[in-house]
Structures are given as C-alpha cells and as structure tokens.
Chains A and B, each alone.
Chain A
Amino acid sequence: MTIDASHASIALASAETKSGRTRRFAVHAVMILLSFLSIFPIYWMIVTSLRPENEIFSTSLWPSNPSLENYVFVLTRIPMIGMLINTTVVSAATALLQVVTGLFAAYALVRWRMRLSGVIHGLIALSWLVPFQVTMIPNYVLASRLGLLDTLTGLIVPNAAHAFAILLLYNAMRSFPTEILEAARIDGARSWKILWQIVVPNMGAPIASLSIIAFISAWNEYFWPLLLSRKPENSVVQIGLQMFMTQEGNLWGPLMAAAALASLPILVIYLILQRHVIESFMKSGIR
C-alpha cells in the first residue's frame, strides 16, 4: 500500500505542491501511529498504577484522583526495594565484568599474533549461537554443585564473559592505530601498562556502549534467574514481578505499580542517556 501511494507522488515533489503536503502528512501519520503503538502500553501501565482501587477499570486517560496506594501495597507486600538493589548489583557487576573480560580477550587478540587466533576468534563467536535452553541442565547442575543456587554470585558469574562483549571491543580495538602500540612497546612499556594507559583511555565510546547494553540486558534477564532463584528476597526484580503476577495476577493496580517500579531505573537511564542508548544498541546489536 505504501508503495502505491509513494508512486503517485513523485519523489521530487517539494513541500509546496499538494501531493507533497499529502505525503508529508502521511509520513507523520505513519510515525505517529508507530510511536503511539510503542509508547501507549507503557503510558497505560503508569496511569493504571496511579488509579485508586475503585477506579481501576476506568478508561479515562488520566486518573481523576491519582494516588500512590498501589505502590505502597507493592512495597509492603513484596521485598521490592531489596530486589531492586539486588538487580542493580547483578547488572552493574555483570556489565563491569563483561567489560574487563572483554577488554583482556580483545587486547590479547589484537596485540599478539598467535597461531591460534583464528580458532579462538571462531570459538568466541560461535558461543553466541548456542541457545541457553540447550545448555541449561548442565549449567544448572554445575551451579548447584558450586553452591550458587539462590545467590547473586550465581546470577553474575555465568554472564561475566560474553561473545558479544569481546567481539564489540575487538572490533573497536582493531581500528586502534598499531603504530602507537608499537611505539609504546619499543619504549619498553609492559603490556599491562599499555592496556590501561594507552588502549583503555582511547576506548571510552565502545566501553560506554557495551556497559549500557550489558547493564540493560542484565537488568531484563529472565531465564537464568528463573532457574536459579528460590526466595524472592535473594532474587532479581523480574522474578519478583513474575511471582507477584502469579499470586496477585488480577490486582491490576498493584501489578502495574510493580511493573513500573521494575522498569523505572531503565526508563530513567533512557531519559538521561537517550541518544547514547539508542546509538549503542544500533551500532552494536540486539540483546
């Protein structure tokens, strides 16, 4: 349909002509529709979470007497604050470790020419294609043998290195001018010093991108915590949310308040770093 319409209005049409104006209107219409579709469910979550109980099924676009009672209910019913702290710890640690292990591995592949570089690179890239559901049973057995069930460490360690992180930093580091590395090496600098004093300070942008993506994906991670967690107070917010839904699935107000609390940190990060977040995801991928 889009194509027929665009065919009718030739590309050269400027804003002044009638067909140009129609087209411009249609372009905005498409984008407004898509934006509405993207944002309305989130808007509706916030509105519902602010409605008092007797108004919960109202369809007005804004609650007539907004109240925070749903939030109070959630905070008293489940250990929401504790879970938010847990999730922050897990996400920050995961992001930090992915950056560090990624930097090391990428540095090794860029700085040294090894016989096995190709094989290692392939091994790292291919680990991406192994669906987690395929390795989940051995992973679970290993985690329980190491005593990691129901712990935050257990949520962090298996994600401490990721093919995505390594390849992202590898690609960024490869474009780093080798002359500088060579010069530093000739000056007798140790590889450790070169990494931290020359390479890392010049990798700000990719490191920031990776941290943003890793933090957000760790925050949203659901499957591994689902396997590992037992008690809500030892778990992350996604699991708490699911437990809350299973128990109180039809208390729509509190459920929406819980969902809003669980997404709040990510939405705040997005509001502040909006351009960076979009760019990081677009440059480097889907997680």
Chain B
Amino acid sequence: MTDIQADLAGPLSVARVPAAARQRTTFTVQPWLYLAPALCLLMMWTYVPLVEAFQLSFYQWNMLPTAPQRYVGLTNYQRLFALPEMRAALWNTLFYILGLFPMSVIIPLFVAIWTQDLEGRARTIYRALIFVPMIVAPVVAAILWRWLLNEDQGLITLGLETIGLGRIGFLTDPKYALATLTWITGWKLIGFSTLLFSAANAGINPSYIEAARIDGASRWGIIRDIRLPLLSPTILLLSMMTILFGAQWSFAYINVLTNGGPLKSTTNIFYLLWEYGFQTMSAGWSSAAGMIAFAGFAVIAAGCMWLTKRFAVYDN
C-alpha cells in the first residue's frame, strides 16, 4: 500500500492520446473486457471505500453491523480540530517525515557521490549488503531493533553502559521513542536510497565532468554545478516519497513496538486513524481524520509534482 513508482526516466505522466487517434475511435467492447478485472478491483477496494469513508465522516457509528449510523454533520471534524490528540499526532507526523530525510535523502546522496569510483567486486558486495534491509519485513525489523535496544540486555544498551552513557529507554522514554521509530523506518531505506542515487550518479554523462575539469572546476564545484542538478530528479522523487509515505511506513513499527506510546509520543496521524477505528470503535472520527489526512497529503502531492516539473533538471 505504501509504494510509489520510481520510474527514473521521468515524472509520473498521464498518457496523452493523439488527437488524430481520438477521432477515429469507435466504441469497442474488447478493451473494456481487458480493463474490467483491474478497474473493478480498484473501484471495489479503493474508490468506492474512499467515497464511503467520506460519507462516514459525517456520521457517528461504533462499527457494529447492527448499530445505527447517526448523521452528525460536521461535528466529527469540529471535535477533531479541537482535540489536542489530533494536533499532537499531526506534529508527530511532521517529525517522522523530517527525521527520515537525513536517512532517505541527505546521507544517501552524499554517500553515493563520495563512493562513486568504487568498482568491481567490492562494489557488488557492498551493493548486495546495503540493500538487504529493504526486503526485511517491517515486523521483523521491529523485532530486531527491539532486541538490540532492549533496556536490560540489548547489545546497544550494554555498549552504551560500557562507554559510560548509562541506560536509555529507547522505546519507553517519551523523549527518545519517536526518534527510535524514525531510525528503524530509515534503517530500511538508507541503503536502497544510496543505490538509487549511485545509479543516477553513474548515469551522468562523463563528458560534462571532463569538460568542467578542463575548465578548472574544483571537485566541489563539479558536485554543486553538475552532479546535484543532474541528480535533482532522484532527489525530488525520494523527497516526495519520504513526505508522502514516510508516516505510513512507520505505522508497523508504532503498532508493533510502542502502540503509540509512551504518553502518545509516537502516535502519528495514521496510527490515530487506526486507534479511532479499531480500538475505540469510532468509525466517524477515524473517517474524518482520514479525510483530513488524505486531503492534506493530496495537496502536498500536487505541490511535489509541480516542484518536480518546475525544478528537476533532465539531461536531454
């Protein structure tokens, strides 16, 4: 559910039908038969539910099939906006996203540039190793880090104690819990992002670099004026994914490791939806919060697409 196409050849584009082709179209049944399975499934499990969720956001309902749904108008939205819980969850969502940036974009970008001349066997081995977290299941990743960070016997805790830093409640101290979950989310991404940047970096036409070098450009000058602009599509793509999906990626870790605690310090907007929906059984609130999140992220997505169109440099 939390995926986006990284079609590095260009930004997501909607197919354009040439005007000439459009004119000679006559209605045929066949394409619709081919489209039917996919479209029916998407309608059934995405679009119709989206509309239903929108409707539900104006109702009060405790999710029991026998219980009545009571129309309450905008009350759900008003209540939500007044709730400190909601505001805290939105702030936490922002912290998750900002905290992911170093691991999903900034560090990978510089590691990729820094290690660009690696070749041969060593490169293959590093590639194979740093990719692994990407395919580890979120639940497994959560359990691995829960063990390493365990407050009594975890390896990292023991290590910190040896160097005299004492014990840190990585998952139990409200000061650290959100950072810990962000770290685990980022752990899965850092290697993959590095590989994406490396591939994009290796695809830069070497004659540009050569030309700049002959003109006496410094290494940093080359990075700033040639590499970074030509890497901008990848930078924007990964930033967009982090912004749009970062908070969703952290859901599994929140649910497995902290249940939104301690003191709600790790509850983000998606976890709040889940809590309202399936723990306190208030479908109306959950749907209203969902609509707010959906609208917010849709606006951000549109903004990101615009930014990509405006600022990405393509080497044509």
Instruction: Say yes or no: B287 contacts A137, CB within 8 Å.
Output: yes
Known: A108-B32, A220-B137. A286 touches B15 (CB 8 A): no
**Stretch among B16-24, B74-82, B84-92, B172-180 lining the A interface:** B16-24
When C-beta atoms are compared, the residue in chain A nearest to B24 turns out to be A113
Q: A256 to B21, alpha carbons, bound, how many Å?
A: 59
Contact, CB under 8 Å: A286 / B298 = no
- Does B256 interact with chain A (Cβ within 8 Å)? yes
CB pair B6 A286 closer than 8 Å: yes
Q: Smallest CB-CB separation from B219: which chain A residue?
A: A11
Inter-chain CB contacts under 8 Å: number: 324
Q: How many residues of A sit at the interface, in one of the four size bands? A: 35 or more
Q: Which of A131-167 contact B (CB under 8 A)?
A: 131-139, 141-142, 144, 157-158, 160-161, 163-164, 166-167
Cβ-neighbour of B135 out of A109, A112, A224, A277 (below 8 A): A277
Q: Is the beta-carbon distance between A121 and B45 smaller than 8 angstroms? A: no
Q: Which of B220-266 contact A (CB under 8 A)?
A: 220, 222-223, 241, 244-245, 248, 251-252, 255-256
When distances are taken between beta carbons in the complex, the residues of chain A under 8 Å from B223 are 3, 6
Query: In the bound complex, what is the Cα–Cα distance between A216 and B298 (angstroms)?
Result: 27
Residues of A within 8 A of B38 (CB): 101-102, 104-105, 124, 161, 166
Q: Does A180 contact B (CB under 8 A)?
A: no
Contact of A34 among B17, B122, B141, B191 (CB under 8 A): B191
Which B37-93 residues have a C-beta within 8 angstroms of A?
37-39, 41-42, 44-50, 52-53, 56, 63, 65
Q: Is the CB of A263 within 8 A of B46?
A: no
Interface of B is mostly: helix
Is B306 at the interface (CB under 8 A from chain A)? no
Query: Which residues of chain B are near A286, meaning CB under 8 Å?
Result: 3-4, 6, 134, 189, 192, 241, 245
Interface residues in B284-298 by Cβ distance below 8 A to A read 286-287, 290-291, 293-294, 297-298
B34 & A134 in contact (Cβ 8 Å cutoff): no
A223 contacts B115, C-beta separation under 8 Å: no
B17 touches A137 (CB 8 A): no
Query: Nearest Cβ in chain A — how far from B177, in angstroms?
Result: 17
Given contacts A133-B290, A286-B192, contact A107 B34 (CB under 8 A): yes
A131-B270, A135-B45 are known contacts. Are A59 and B155 too (CB-CB below 8 A)?
Answer: yes
Is A118 part of the binding interface, using a Cβ–Cβ cutoff of 8 Å?
Answer: yes
Expressed in whole angstroms, the minimum distance between the Cβ of B196 and any Cβ of chain A is: 6
Q: Are A259 and B31 in contact (CB under 8 A)?
A: no
| Contact yes or no, B115 A30, CB < 8 A | yes
Q: What residues on A are CB-neighbors of B45 within 8 Å?
A: 135, 139, 142, 157-158
CA distance A224 to B251 in the complex (A): 12
Are A118's CB and B16's CB within 8 A?
yes
* Cα distance A265–B53 in the bound complex, in angstroms: 37
List residues of chain A with CB within 8 A of the CB of B56.
137-138
In the complex, A41 has a CB within 8 A of chain B: yes
Query: Would B144 and A262 count as touching, CB distance under 8 A?
Result: no
Chain A positions 1 through 45: 1 when the CB is less than 8 Å from some CB of chain B, otherwise 0: 011001101111000000000000011101110110111011011
Q: Say how far B233's CB is from chain A's closest CB, in angstroms.
A: 14
Cβ of A28 and Cβ of B110 under 8 Å apart?
Answer: no
Which residues of chain A have C-beta atoms less than 8 A from B115's C-beta? Answer: 27, 30-31
| Residue contact B1 to A223, C-beta cutoff 8 Å | yes
The reply to whether A35 and B220 form a contact with Cβ atoms under 8 Å apart is no
Stretch at the interface among B94-102, B271-279, B307-315: B271-279
Say yes or no for B168: interface residue by CB 8 A criterion. Answer: no
A85 contacts across to B, CB distance below 8 A:
none
CB distance B35 to A120 under 8 Å? yes
Q: Is A198 an interface residue (CB 8 A)?
A: no
Pairs across A and B, CB under 8 Å, 10 listed: A109-B31, A117-B17, A118-B15, A130-B294, A134-B53, A137-B52, A161-B38, A163-B42, A164-B5, A277-B131
Sort A-B residue pairs by CB-CB distance and give the 6 closest, nearest first.
A138-B49, A108-B34, A135-B49, A134-B290, A161-B41, A105-B38
Other 15 A-B pairs with CB < 8 A, given A131-B297, A137-B49, A161-B41: A11-B213, A27-B114, A34-B111, A35-B129, A113-B21, A115-B17, A130-B46, A131-B248, A131-B270, A134-B287, A135-B50, A137-B277, A223-B251, A223-B252, A224-B1
